[in-house]
Amino acid sequence: MDYYYIYNKTMKGSLTQEEITLIISLYQTDVPSTHKLAERFKVGHKKISQILKEHNIEINKRGGQIKIGNSIEIEKSKTHQYESTNEYELVAKCKKTGIIIKDPNNLSGKLTKHIITHYNNVQIPQNNYQRKKYELTHNKKWFEDYFDIIQMELKPTRKCSLCEWETTDINNKTGCFEQHIKKEHGITLEDYLNQFIDEVKYHPNFIKEIKNKEFLEDKNNYVICRLCGDKMKSISNTHLINKHNITVNDYKLKFPNDKIVSNTISNELSELVKKTNINMVPTWTSKGETEIKEFIESLGFSVGKSKNRGLLNGKEIDLVIDGTDICIEYNGLYYHTDRMGKTSNYHLNKTLECSTIGYKLIHIFEDEWVINKELVKSKIKHLLNVGDGIRIGGRNVILKEIDSKIKGEFLNSNHIQGNDKSTIKYGAFYNDLLVGVMCFNDKRNMSKSKEGEYELSRFATKNGYIISGLGSKMLKRFIMDYKPSSIISFADRRWTIDGDSNLYINLGFKLVDIVKPTYTYYNSKVNKYKRHHKFGFGKNNLKKKYPYLDFKKSESELMKELGYDRIWDCGLFKYELTIE
């Protein structure tokens, strides 16, 4: 409580309860005089005495002073002196700031200066007599209202075993001990420690050097500097600049086939990078990834920490769906090109790595989500077995061949790859509503095809409908009409999470081949949300559009000049059905 503030606000007249409480407190501590309190609170001293009696407070003798002896006795008295010992040092610690001052008796006046700087309304004894009087009255020094006197352990020291020289630098951090024995006794640190072996513990750097020598005896633990022959864990800039006046880059240019980091250190750094990656906190998440996460959670699933780095030892997986074995990568087109390091096997390798630990990875490209969001949502529902569409039995639909226009419109709305150039098109109708399409190509549209071989190029059902048995019914109709000897089909590995258990296998197809990844082209300046099929950019087509190009260069080089980058997929599963 700020007593002086309350006093300054006190007006003449009757006393409040707060003022009465303050009077009692002051009388028992700082102002043990009824006359002084009466003057301060602008009332008669008898009023003060009455208040004290009513509260059973013993009235001090006249003058309000506790008897501590006369002035001569005070002058002759000695103040207590705080003294340090061999084990500890006494210091003053400020109660307000925590600052420590090594002058517990205030001989330098530092405590006084600190108190004036950091405290308000301070009453400082003006002379030695007043300080003695305060100490006798309160049984403590005046500045102990603001400082605690505490003990601090003295720093340990170490003596030289050859003389009486002593230092607080026990572990020779400044090198003073080594300098002393060299200058005064003419011996090296190693000679000294061989003589006084118990003192090795005081020299961690010496121990470190011994361990380093032992470590460098193993050839996996060192590389050799070609300039000086030194063995070291790694050839650093510090070593090269200080000893040879060249940088690491200069060294690499001079010795391009030499390693500059030992095998052991290289392995340690690799493990450190893995641990760092696993614990790295993502700083940015794309809008599409966030939308997919929110959609999955709206289906009742939980998506753990985004940008999961624990599953593949530091490699990032965008979304891992809790309680399932399904992961999702959202691939922004700009960031998943060759130029950004996503080369031919990047997406496939992630898929395979997930597969080896029992997870199924789906890759969703940015253009699919932006342009065909509802189709992608439908496929995600199917993968999670939460389809909620209108259910129709395959026996309730009517099959008939359809024209290219109807087929194209349906596929563009209901198939993730959109329309194709198929020659045989079947439509499934339910109450005159087209609810399914299956398309085939004959050998005239196919390269390297066998006699009687056809390709099943597209199969799609209307978004929002679940039609059991439709695939089987449409396939049987085609076989009955065209009498194929075999049918092949290809499944995108980005969406086919299990090559051995899917619609093809259920229809009697067998997995006969795995096609390596291929690419599409991308140019953000042409279309931010479109991958262009490579067939449109063969050299013959390029010659027609860009005759000024140097066609001695490869297709890839020419496309880079035109501002296009490649985006790689995960390859295809090839299936075949043999008709007996």
For the chain, which residues make up each domain, given as ranges? 3-54, 71-153, 170-215, 220-262, 278-383, 390-484
pLDDT at 397: 96
pLDDT at 563: 93
- Min mean pLDDT across 219-233, 307-321, 412-426, 430-444 is at 307-321
Q: Give CA–CA dist 352/359, Å, rounded.
A: 9
Check residue 321 and report its DSSP letter: B
Compute the chain's Rg from CA coordinates: 45
Q: Which two tokens stand for residue 383?
A: 């993968």
Whether pLDDT at 11 is above 60: no
DSSP state for residue 516 in the 8-state scheme: P
| pLDDT(9) > 50 | no
Report DSSP state, residue 529. Answer: T
Express each pLDDT in 223-259 by its tens digit.
Answer: 989 999 988 888 888 899 999 999 888 888 888 888 8
Give one DSSP letter per residue of 557-574, joined into a string: HHHHHTT-EEEE---EEE
- Write down the pLDDT at residue 61: 63
- Let me know if 223 is exposed, middle or buried by CB neighbors in 10 A (0-12, 13-18, 19+): buried
Question: What is the average pLDDT score of the chain?
Answer: 87
Confidence (pTM): 0.56
Q: 253-262, 322-331, 503-512: which range is least confident on average? A: 253-262
313-321 contacts: CB < 8 A, separation 24 or more?
313/274, 313/278, 314/273, 314/274, 314/275, 314/276, 314/277, 314/278, 315/277, 315/350, 315/353, 316/277, 317/350, 317/354, 317/361, 318/289, 319/289, 319/292, 319/293, 320/359, 321/296, 321/384
Copy the structure tokens of residue 297: 């959670």
Nearest C-alpha neighbor of 34 from the set 61, 12, 13, 7: 61
Pairwise CA distance, residues 504 & 99, whole Å: 79
> What are residue 123's phi and psi, to 5 degrees?
-105, 105
pLDDT above 80 (res 277): no
Q: Alpha-carbon distance 332 to 288, whole Å?
A: 8
Length of the chain: 580
Phi and psi dihedrals of 118, rounded to 5? Answer: -110, -5
For position 109, what pLDDT does the model report?
87
Q: What is the pLDDT of residue 63?
A: 47
**CA 537-542-547 angle, 5° bins:** 170
Q: Is the pLDDT of residue 301 over 70?
A: yes
pLDDT of 529 strictly over 50: yes
| Domain 390-484 listed as CATH 3.40.630.30 | yes
- Is the pLDDT at 64 greater than 60, yes or no? no
CA distance 205 to 177: 13
**pLDDT in the model for residue 155:** 76
Per CATH, the homologous superfamily of domain 278-383 is: VSR Endonuclease (3.40.960.10)
Q: How many CA atoms lie within 13 A of 81 on its CB side?
A: 6
Region 317-323 average pLDDT: 92
pLDDT confidence of residue 68: 54
Please give the share of the chain, as a percent, with pLDDT higher than 90: 51
pLDDT tens figures, 100-142: 998 999 998 899 889 988 988 787 887 888 888 888 888 899 9
Contacts of 184 (CB under 8 A, 6+ apart): 160, 162, 163, 165
Q: How far apart are CA 451 and CA 220, in angstroms?
A: 61
Residues β-bridged to residue 307: none
Instruction: Kindly state the average pLDDT of the residues 554-571.
Output: 93
Most confident of 313-322, 349-358, 468-477: 468-477
Nearest C-alpha neighbor of 94 from the set 75, 78, 80, 110:
110
Q: What are phi and psi of 455, to 5 degrees?
A: -120, 130
User: Does 273 have pLDDT greater than 70?
Assistant: no
Fold of domain 3-54: Arc Repressor Mutant, subunit A (1.10.10)
Q: Taking residues 216-226, what's their average pLDDT?
A: 88
Q: What pLDDT, on a 0 to 100 scale, did the predictor assign at position 60?
A: 72
